[in-house]
Amino acid sequence: MKYIINDKFIFNPNDLVLFDSKHPEIVTKIKKPVGRLLLELLHNNKINVSRDYLLEKVWSTNMFTASNAGLNNYISELRKAFSLVGCEDDIIITLPKFGFRFEADVASYSLSEDHSDDNNLSNDAEPSEPDEKIQPKKSFPPKAIKFLLIASGIMVIIIFLWMVLKKDEVHRLEKIAKVGQCDIYSMSKVYFKDETISYIKKTLDHEGFDCTNRQLDVFYIEDRINRKRVRADLVSVCARNPDQNYNFCFNVKNQRNNAK
C-alpha cells in the first residue's frame, strides 16, 4: 500500500521513502519508527489523536519504551521530512495538552493484491482505522514512478561527476570496502580510506540502510578544496533487481561546512 498526500506527495511504507510525485528527484528517507508514526496519522487523517494513543500504537505495541520526548522528536522529524520534499502546508497540527491531527487529502493505492507493506513497519500492529476511511483517488502508474526515480538518481550522479571531474583526471571506479552485504565503491581518489569508509558507514546507518540483510551497491564521490578539506560529497545507494540492473538508487549529497 502506498499513500498520496494532497495529490502530490507519496509515502511508501515498504521503502520508508517520501517524495514529490511531480518532482521525483526530491526524495527523503525516514526512520522506521517515524514511518509507523506517519502511518498511524494517515489512518486517522483529520481525526484528533491523543498522545497516549500514539505512544501505545507506535511504541508499546511494538515492544519499545514509550516517551513524550521521543514522540516530540519524531513529530519534528516528520515535519522536517515533509519540508524537505517541498510541502509548505502545516499538515501536522499540534493540539495543546492532547495530541496531534493530520490535516490533508489522503488517498491510498496498492501495487498488487499483496497488502503487506504496512506490516513491514510493525510485527503485529494493525491500522487503527479501516482502509475505507481513506478514499482512493487517481493513482500514479508505478512503472512511471520507478523510471523517474531511477532516471533522476542517475542524473544526480552524472551532474556531480561532471562537477568533480571537470577539473581532475578521470578516476576509475574502485571497490574500497565490503560492509556486510554492501559493496562500497569510490568514484574519486580516496586520500583517507579508513576515515572515508567510517563516514560512509555512518551515512548508511543514519539513512536506515541495513547491510546485514540486504545486498546493496554503494557509490561514493567527493569534491575536495585541497588534500585535507572536502567541499562536498555524494553517497549513492543502489539496489539491483533479479536481472542485475539497478531498480532503485537513493542519493545523499552533503555540502560540507568549511568555514573557519
List the CATH code of the domain at 174-255.
3.30.46
The three grid cell numbers given for residue 116, joined into one nine-digit string: 503487506
Q: Tell me, what amino acid is at 189?
A: K
Cβ neighbours of residue 61 under 8 Å, at least 6 residues apart? 122, 124, 125
SS3 content of the chain, % helix, strand, coil (to 5): 35, 30, 40
Q: Which residues of the chain have pLDDT under 70?
A: 63, 111-172, 247-248, 256-260
| Per-residue model confidence (pLDDT) at position 10 | 92
| Per-residue model confidence (pLDDT) at position 251 | 82
H helices present in 95-247, as ranges? 142-165, 193-206
H or E element in which residue 101 lies:
strand 99-102
Q: Which of 228, 161, 165 is nearest to 191 (CA)?
A: 228
CATH of 2-109, one of 3.50.50.60, 1.10.10.10, 3.40.50.300, 1.10.1040.10: 1.10.10.10
Q: Tell me, what amino acid is at 185?
A: Y
CA-to-CA distance for 19 and 108, rounded, in angstroms?
15
CA-to-CA distance for 19 and 9, rounded, in angstroms?
6
Secondary structure (3-state) at 14 = coil
Task: Give 21's DSSP letter.
Answer: T
Domain ranges of the chain: 2-109, 174-255
Q: Which of 223, 243, 234 is nearest to 153 (CA)?
A: 234
CA-to-CA distance for 234 and 229, rounded, in angstroms?
15
CA-to-CA distance for 6 and 22, rounded, in angstroms?
12
The three grid cell numbers given for residue 140, joined into one nine-digit string: 500514479
| Per-residue model confidence (pLDDT) at position 244 | 75
Task: Give 123's DSSP letter.
Answer: S
| Per-residue model confidence (pLDDT) at position 38 | 94
Write out pLDDT tens, residues 214-240.
Answer: 888 999 988 877 877 888 888 888 887
